[in-house]
């Protein structure tokens, strides 16, 4: 599922979703967050996932943190914010 190639129809469906939902790999979601934050004038965002398994949620948050140039803390879940 992590490497699933979206069809044109699926990508169109995702793009038609309200901007409350973002989908894609970590780099794509980072670009979407950056764009949404720029359009909203936001200086911070809150992220949650739809994965039901805790390990998958941790992996997704860690991948997104890495896409933003952050490294997860030792516990492996909460991204560290650079000073």
- pLDDT averaged over the chain? 80
Q: What is the pLDDT of residues 19-29, one digit of tens each?
A: 677 888 999 99
- Helix extents (H) in the chain: 8-16, 26-40, 54-67
Is the model's pLDDT at 67 over the cut of 90?
yes
Assessment of whether the complete model's pTM goes beyond 0.75: no
Q: How many CB atoms lie within 10 A of CB 65?
A: 21
Question: Cα 45–66–61 angle (5° rounding)?
Answer: 55
Tokens 């933003």 sit at which residue? 68
């Amino acid at each position: 599922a992590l490497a699933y190639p979206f069809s044109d129809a699926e990508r169109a469906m995702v793009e038609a979703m309200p901007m409350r939902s973002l989908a894609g790999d970590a780099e794509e979601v980072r670009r979407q967050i950056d764009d949404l934050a720029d359009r909203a004038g936001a200086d911070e965002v809150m992220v949650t996932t739809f994965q039901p398994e805790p390990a998958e949620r941790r992996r997704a948050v860690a991948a997104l943190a890495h896409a933003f140039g952050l490294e997860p803390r030792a516990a492996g879940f909460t991204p560290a914010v650079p000073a």
